[in-house]
Structure 1
């Protein structure tokens, strides 16, 4: 450890030893959004050695691989009348019109070409008999526009992007937990992290930082992510750096998560892809009723995710669920060969658990799946901090109050390309101002990291993280009311007090990582609860049982930012206007005809 001197000349506490890494662009995140950004940069002439992608896990091991069902783009393989304006209209309708229309149109306009680009790069799309990229039905979409690779689309896409990045010699660093961003005079200067393999602290000195670090749904007890991803890193990093968050009250609960009491607790909440319903899967309650006929007789199991999830929750609450606390999802009316071809991963997973998907139903219940909210950004993905960008599930704006299935993977590659273009143009300008040494900016956080490691406190950070997950599930779950949210905020204060007295091991220990996750989780949970309290209506995935109607006056984005004295300040932003072409598509009222699947 080395002594440091404050700007006023006084001595400060010793700063832990650390490594310093200099790059022009630091990409934080191991998934598709980060990979696609880095690829765009290099393909636009940026030297690969000027770029570094860092991830908390091994290269290619990211949440992207758990997005199985497909990726949207208006190719018109089966439905030539589909086009990007109708895709945008479906997205805005699904988002209950609190999406940013410009961002929505950016994604939908770019996706046909980006799907063809992935195809050219070798992605193993499922094909029609004549060799074209196949497309399937997905919930709340007017046409078949979800391209897919069996039921492992995210895995196939990330493998393709990683292979492309390796072919371009883009540097990647594994197992690094980024815990703070460096900002000076409103400008990004880099980040600070910990090498989880060695325990060494790392200062990244960078001109541009791109946050592609995922969302926050693993902060819920039942969730479709792995426990150590989607814990709020991206939104919390940005918020703590002074950037506003937006729409964080909108948390999507996917209708079909596995039921732990039936398949084992390690499987609880894991996703049963929407592709099962997209290929004709049917939902039944314990009485054998195909209950979606009561809730959505026209769109049935392929209505919007929030509609289907609440229908399942209502069936379970009414006592018509299974003994294990779920409902049945059945695709056994399809031929075995069809299931094996179109849903190979699901077929194999349940076969390993002793269930024949071609012969019997599986048990499912809603699970926290996707945070529609995140970091507020402009049309290029840049935040209020100059040179700091946020994309993928870390950003807000595309999905509004509820995400259209198949749009998450689309957003990652679309905004990866958009932000890569913007950053490449930025790097062409050599006039970036000089600033303080990044290590000097990082000194305070390095000391904080040193204080967390080997802390001899009272509370186990992993246990507190589980308490936080229970809190959000109970107080800001699929159904909410004002009393629950207020109780959640009160309980959060108690958790925060306990978090000040943690028992933590070395910087290579799991408890150190859990302590960092807990810190981020407390920030994001606070924002979720406060925004949920502020939105006194029901809209999309946000349902207040004490305010069951949608309030036209609340067709605004709720923004959460620091108030300057350690608290959170909430405000609202107005919504933009769609283009004339998209408005025409909205007015036309396109809608899925589910019964084509019958």
Structure 2
């Protein structure tokens, strides 16, 4: 069996994982990156709009305090205030750092990094590279990591974490190509595995997003928070069926795109919440003028936070005012010249032209909500990103707290950079502090992990894992989707229990080499855990807030606004326990921003 020793092992090679690995390496740690797919193919490339950072290049009056306030308000005040503060304060420096490493940002007329408008942000603050910002981030960070000589284990999946007492000792993985097992001895492990979107039928997420980091952390003894808050991005492709859910960047709306129903009505004016009325245009004329003269700063309703826009779209579709393919129209063709669209939105132009035979410079797009992002994740210390398990860190989408109940567009890329750096530095510092007292991997645990990974091959006459996955995705889509009710959530939990029973007899045909059925069988264990976490937390939270909408509890509840829901694996390891936890208390000087 292959075996390697490092100080820090980073699981995941998206923006968070790469930035964490770079920080750990530069802090002196022997560092490795383990990624499920190929290097450079992380889901970060789908974050197209930009990096939210209060650099003040377009609006000099923008600053970290305004960004902090926007983030907290977008998350409906359920955010970890300290994480939101650190993010707002440090994001500009992290963006500048990317440029120093070779990232090629779009520029303003006077040569500064260009910043665009996005929903929920008071000022234009998203540093961008056309509509390919995530791709440029990955390219830059990947190039930096390779240049530093950081070891990378590509197409390698981690299935278990090892502990020595209460501290992390390493990780167990396998090569996806050959099925051979690997043991990593390391006192620090950083989870940067992304989200959970493949538990839902309609999602913008790629195949890797099966909740691996969430489940690994729970099995190691860590807690998850905010798992009921799943963001349905307002705009995913709805046609053709092969690309249903594929992301349509918020940049389309940031650059002038508007939403219309099948009757041709610009309907978002009917859905402006009281909370945002003072900052949102009341008329079409006022909204149109905003794009050309933004001094009044009353923004179009299309640029409300994502949860508000997604619910409005969903309401129009349910009311029978949807498009022929079950979405609504996103129109930028009538608002901008073809030259502007091709320059500012090259990826979107190409995506629709190639995949849907739609020329977005001449006709509207058909779009609808798609499962995009989970605000919930591993509960971590705001400053270090360490979980309750010593030596285990989590960053990016698989950590929780930063975004509260709803993430603002553009905050994800800043999140990856700010907390990736912090996690890498602290993981390295912890490993260095151990000296010769490093935790040891127990050989019995290695054998147990190997037996568990091979279990699907031992079953005869069982069920195909693809069938279970398909049924799980349909169930989550139908019962734990954008609008929720008690009866449907209870039904979903019953169905998840049934899926867990079926998963015990999953059968895998063939051998360990080149076996995607085996890979899915292992992924399904994680998908079932996180799906139960989402459904159980959604059932418990009897209010509507951010990315969680209860039809039977349609408004926010002040009492629920003071607490998080925390989930852990139960003692038997077969289900999920849930309890409430008060929100961290915000200092008085920060409360003043919301007076």
Q: What TM-score do you get using the length of structure 1 for normalisation?
A: 0.92
Structure 1 equivalent of residue 576 of structure 2: 568
Structure 1 equivalent of residue 24 of structure 2: 41
Q: Does 1:210 align with 2:190?
A: yes
Distance 1:306 1:346, change over 3 A: same
1:72-151 maps to which residues of 2 (within 5 A)?
72-151=52-131
Structure 1 equivalent of residue 297 of structure 2: none
Structure 1 equivalent of residue 233 of structure 2: 254
Tell me by how many angstroms 1:582 deviates: 3.6
Give me the whole-angstrom Cα distance separating, in 2, the residues matched to 1:304 and 1:529: 23
Contact 2:170 2:441 in 1 (8 A): no
Contact 2:76 2:545 in 1 (8 A): yes
Alignment partner of 1:252: what SS? strand
1:272-287 maps to which residues of 2 (within 5 A)?
272-287=248-263
Q: Does 1:65 align with 2:48?
A: no
Structure 2 equivalent of residue 9 of structure 1: none
Q: Does 1:374 align with 2:380?
A: no
Distance 1:40 1:436, change over 3 A: closer
Displacement over 6 Å in runs of 4+: none
Tell me by how many angstroms 1:53 deviates: 0.3
Select the residue among 190, 193, 199 that pairs with 2:179: 199
Q: Does 1:466 align with 2:470?
A: yes
Alignment partner of 1:453: what SS? helix
Give me the whole-angstrom Cα distance separating, in 2, the residues matched to 1:300 and 1:221: 28
Q: Does 1:31 align with 2:14?
A: yes
Structure 2 equivalent of residue 233 of structure 1: 212
Please give the per-residue CA displacement for 1:137-180, whole angstroms capped at 9, x wherever unaligned: 00011101111110011011000000000111111010011111
Contact 1:293 1:300 in 2 (8 A): yes
Quick check: 296-305 or 180-189, which moved more? 296-305
Structure 2 gaps of 5+ residues are: 273-279, 282-299
Tell me by how many angstroms 1:564 deviates: 1.7
Quick check: 504-513 or 195-204, which moved more? 504-513
Alignment partner of 2:559: what SS? helix
Tell me by how many angstroms 1:503 deviates: 1.9
Give me the whole-angstrom Cα distance separating, in 1, the residues matched to 2:140 and 2:442: 34
Please give the per-residue CA displacement for 1:59-89, whole angstroms capped at 9, x wherever unaligned: 1111111111111000011111111111111
Tell me by how many angstroms 1:434 deviates: 4.6
Q: Does 1:496 align with 2:500?
A: yes
Give me the whole-angstrom Cα distance separating, in 1, the residues matched to 2:586 and 2:347: 38
Give me the whole-angstrom Cα distance separating, in 2, the residues matched to 1:579 and 1:121: 36
Tell me by how many angstroms 1:553 deviates: 1.1
Give me the whole-angstrom Cα distance separating, in 1, the residues matched to 2:92 and 2:169: 35
Q: Does 1:349 align with 2:351?
A: yes
Q: What TM-score do you get using the length of structure 2 for normalisation?
A: 0.93
Q: Does 1:181 align with 2:161?
A: yes
Select the residue among 408, 416, 419 that pairs with 1:404: 408
Q: Does 1:552 align with 2:566?
A: no
Contact 2:229 2:547 in 1 (8 A): yes
Structure 1 equivalent of residue 307 of structure 2: 306
Aligned-residue CA RMSD (Å): 1.4
Contact 2:465 2:520 in 1 (8 A): yes
Give me the whole-angstrom Cα distance separating, in 2, the residues matched to 1:199 and 1:431: 34
Alignment partner of 1:389: what SS? strand
Contact 1:86 1:586 in 2 (8 A): no
Tell me by how many angstroms 1:24 deviates: 1.4
Give me the whole-angstrom Cα distance separating, in 2, the residues matched to 1:109 and 1:269: 33
Structure 2 equivalent of residue 593 of structure 1: none
1:258-337 maps to which residues of 2 (within 5 A)?
258-259=237-238, 262-263=239-240, 265-296=241-272, 298=281, 299-332=300-333, 333-337=335-339
Contact 2:83 2:402 in 1 (8 A): yes
Aligned residues: 563
Tell me by how many angstroms 1:280 deviates: 0.7
Alignment partner of 1:428: what SS? helix
Tell me by how many angstroms 1:204 deviates: 1.1
Contact 2:224 2:378 in 1 (8 A): yes
Select the residue among 507, 513, 521 that pairs with 2:527: 521
Tell me by how many angstroms 1:577 deviates: 3.4
Alignment partner of 1:421: what SS? helix
Alignment partner of 1:429: what SS? helix
Please give the per-residue CA displacement for 1:425-449, whole angstroms capped at 9, x wherever unaligned: 2233144635444443221111111
Tell me by how many angstroms 1:392 deviates: 0.6
Contact 2:190 2:395 in 1 (8 A): yes
Please give the per-residue CA displacement for 1:186-235, whole angstroms capped at 9, x wherever unaligned: 10011111100111011111111110011112211110012x22111110
Contact 2:188 2:428 in 1 (8 A): no
Distance 1:492 1:52, change over 3 A: same
Alignment partner of 2:7: what SS? strand
Give me the whole-angstrom Cα distance separating, in 2, the residues matched to 1:71 and 1:542: 25
Alignment partner of 2:553: what SS? coil
Structure 2 equivalent of residue 13 of structure 1: none
Contact 1:253 1:541 in 2 (8 A): yes
Give me the whole-angstrom Cα distance separating, in 1, the residues matched to 2:588 and 2:436: 39
Structure 1 equivalent of residue 448 of structure 2: 444
Give me the whole-angstrom Cα distance separating, in 1, the residues matched to 2:271 and 2:465: 42
Tell me by how many angstroms 1:421 deviates: 1.8
Please give the per-residue CA displacement for 1:269-304, whole angstroms capped at 9, x wherever unaligned: 000000000001000000000000111263410001
Please give the per-residue CA displacement for 1:573-596, whole angstroms capped at 9, x wherever unaligned: 111233455433333xxxxxxxxx
Give me the whole-angstrom Cα distance separating, in 2, the residues matched to 1:439 and 1:212: 26
